[in-house]
Amino acid sequence: QGHFLAHVGLYLPNPVFCHGQLYVALSRVQSKKELRILIHDKQGIAKNTTINVVYKEVFANL
């Protein structure tokens, strides 16, 4: 925890499983100028958004 990287590149060919994964990856870069994100849909078309997948079954018995 608390480690920073000079450059961060994210390749997101699939939606992230939980927002925590995306948050940790994004929080490691010190400057947004040093951040690159590549998102493709299933057909390989570049996108500018991703989906935050939440499985309601995980929370059913809480």
Res. 19 pLDDT band, cuts 50 70 90 = low
Average pLDDT, the chain: 83
> Residue 33 has what pLDDT?
92
Q: Above 70 in pLDDT, residue 61?
A: yes
- Specify if 48 maps to a domain: yes
Of 21, 9, 8, 14, the C-alpha closest to 40 is 14
Q: Is residue 37 part of a domain?
A: yes
At 36, is the pLDDT very low, low, confident or very high (cuts 50, 70, 90)?
Answer: very high
Number of domains in the chain: 1
In a domain, 30, yes or no: yes
Q: Does residue 3 fall inside a structural domain?
A: no
Record the pTM: 0.64
Q: Is residue 1 part of a domain?
A: no
Which structural domain range is residue 52 located in?
Answer: 8-59
Asked if 24 and 16 touch (Cβ cutoff 8 Å), the reply is no
Cα–Cα separations (whole angstroms), residue 36 to 11, 22, 25: 9, 13, 11
pLDDT at 52 over 80: no
Q: Is residue 17 part of a domain?
A: yes
